[in-house]
Amino acid sequence: MASLREASLAYEEKGTTKNISELEMVKLDDCQLEERSFERSDGTPFSVEVISIDGVEYRVPKTVKKGIQACLSVKPDMKKFKVVRSGTTKDDTSYTVVPM
């Protein structure tokens, strides 16, 4: 059994899923959407859709997909976009897709 000091020094954070809004820019055709399943602290399962860029996974909320769809309906040749997040809680967070 390792001491708390030894365990802390050896600790490596497992991959965490970030949010797509943390990216400066996303190339639309360079990303593959994948589903990841997790378990809440109460044991109930849930899943999210993610893209992986340089080994880091970024969550793609459904509202972002709807925003991309709206942008593509106006500009079908859109290649890049940025996601702007506003709000701080689950209930007041919204996303805006900005074509680039």
d(CA 57, CA 16): 7
d(CA 95, CA 93): 7
Q: What is the pLDDT of residues 37-94, one digit of tens each?
A: 888 889 899 999 999 998 889 999 999 999 999 999 999 999 999 999 999 888 899 9
Alpha helices in 44-84 (DSSP H): 62-74
Q: Order of strands across the sheet with 26-27?
A: 26-27, 80-86, 94-99
Rounded CA Rg of the chain: 17
- Global pTM reads 0.78
d(CA 60, CA 69): 13
